[in-house]
Amino acid sequence: MKRKIVAGNWKMNLNYNEAKDLLKKLIEYKDKFDTTTELIICPPTLYLSAFAEVLNGHDWVSLGAQNSYTVDNGAFTGEVSPSQLKSLGIKYGIVGHSERREFFNEDYTLLSKKVKALLHHGLSPIFCCGEQLQVRDSNVYKEFVMKQIEASLFGLKADEIEKVIIAYEPIWAIGTGKTATAEQAQEIHALIRSRISKEFGEKVGANVGIIYGGSCKPDNAKELFAQKDIDGGLIGGASLNADDFLAIANSFE
C-alpha cells in the first residue's frame, strides 16, 4: 500500500519564539491533519529537546533531526549523535541534504555511516538525493541519482533499507519556486523503486517510502502525491507556514 509521508524541514530558520509559535499553531490544527499521514517536523536541533517535551503524548506528529553524526559520543565539538537524539525520543534524521553535501562537503562514505548510525539506534533516516541543474541538462541525471543511492544505501540489509525514507530532491527545484513536473518526479521515483526492488526484493521496493522535495506547495502537492511512486514530500519553505503545511499534508487523494 502507498505510504503517506510529509516531513517539514525548517532548516536554520526562526528564532525560538517564532519556532514555538509555529509549533503552537500546528498543535491547534492537530485534529485537521489526516491521521493516516506520517507527519514529521524537523526544527533546528537546538529546539528539539523543548519540542519533545511539548509533544510528549502526541502521536499525530513525530520529530526529526536535520543532521547527526556517526558515533555515539566523544570529542566531536558541535556534533549531535543518534543516541542523544534517541534519548529525547526523536524518531527521524535527515541525511545527505544537498545543502550539507554542498556546504559541508558530506560525501557518499560519510553519509553511509550517518545512515547506519541512525538505524543502529532505531531512528529512520530521511535520505536525500538529487541532481544539480547542469547534471539534469547533461542528461545523466538518472545515473547520478542512482549512484548517490547505491553508494550510501546499498551496504544496508533489506530490513534496514525498509526503514529508510528516500527523498528525491532535484537541487534546481529547492527553494527556487521551480518544481519538477509530476512526470519528471515520477520518472525518478519509479527508477529508485525499481532499483531497490532489484537489489533487495519486490517487497522491500514496494514498502520503502520515496518522497519528493523541491518547492512543493499547496498548489502542486496534490498532483505530485497522486503519482504512483510518490509517497509524499519533504517540505522546506512551505513548512514554515502552518496553513501551507496543513494543506500539503492533506493533499493525498
Closest contact distance (angstroms) between CB of 173 and ligand PEP is 6
217 within 8 A of 179, measured Cβ to Cβ: yes
Closest contact distance (angstroms) between CB of 232 and ligand PEP is 12
Residue in the shown chain whose Cβ atom is closest to ligand PEP:
236
Q: Cα dihedral angle (37, 42, 43, 45), rounded to 10 degrees?
A: 150
Instruction: Report if residue 169 touches ligand PEP, rule: CB under 6 A.
Output: yes
Q: How far is the C-alpha of 30 from the C-alpha of 92, rounded, in Å?
A: 20
Contacts 24+ apart (CB under 8 A), 15-18: 16/46, 16/47
Query: What is the DSSP code string of 166-214?
Result: EEE--GGGTTTS-PPPHHHHHHHHHHHHHHHHHHH-HHHHHHSEEEEES
Instruction: Report if residue 175 touches ligand PEP, rule: CB under 6 A.
Output: yes
Q: Which of 106, 131, 162, 169 is catalytic?
A: 169
Handedness of CA 66, 111, 183, 203 (dihedral sign): negative
Instruction: Report if residue 237 touches ligand PEP, rule: CB under 6 A.
Output: yes
Q: Which of 38, 97, 106, 162 is catalytic?
A: 97
Cell triple for residue 179?
518544481
Residues that bind ligand PEP (rule: CB under 6 A) add up to a total of 13
**C-beta neighbour count of 8 within 10 angstroms:** 28
Instruction: Report if residue 174 touches ligand PEP, rule: CB under 6 A.
Output: yes
Nearer to ligand PEP, 74 or 177 (CB): 177
Q: Residue with C-alpha cell 530521511? A: 126
Q: How far is the C-alpha of 172 from the C-alpha of 185, rounded, in Å?
A: 12
Instruction: Report if residue 234 touches ligand PEP, rule: CB under 6 A.
Output: yes
Cell triple for residue 48?
528539539
Instruction: Report if residue 214 touches ligand PEP, rule: CB under 6 A.
Output: yes
**C-beta neighbour count of 138 within 10 angstroms:** 11
Query: Among this protein's residues, is 150 annotated catalytic?
Result: no
Instruction: Report if residue 26 touches ligand PEP, rule: CB under 6 A.
Output: no
Nearer to ligand PEP, 64 or 237 (CB): 237
Of the listed pieces 26-34, 62-70, 79-87, 229-237, which binds ligand PEP according to CB under 6 A?
229-237
Beta bridge partners of 234: 7, 213
Instruction: Report if residue 235 touches ligand PEP, rule: CB under 6 A.
Output: yes
Q: Which of residues 27-46 bind ligand PEP (CB under 6 A)?
A: none
Of 110, 188, 216, 248, the residue at the interface with ligand PEP (CB under 6 A) is 216
Instruction: Report if residue 67 touches ligand PEP, rule: CB under 6 A.
Output: no
Closest contact distance (angstroms) between CB of 6 and ligand PEP is 11
Amino acid at 209: G
Instruction: Report if residue 230 touches ligand PEP, rule: CB under 6 A.
Output: no
Query: Among this protein's residues, is 97 annotated catalytic?
Result: yes
Q: Which residues are catalytic?
A: 97, 169
Residues forming contacts to ligand PEP in the complex (CB under 6 A) are: 9, 169, 174-175, 213-216, 234-238
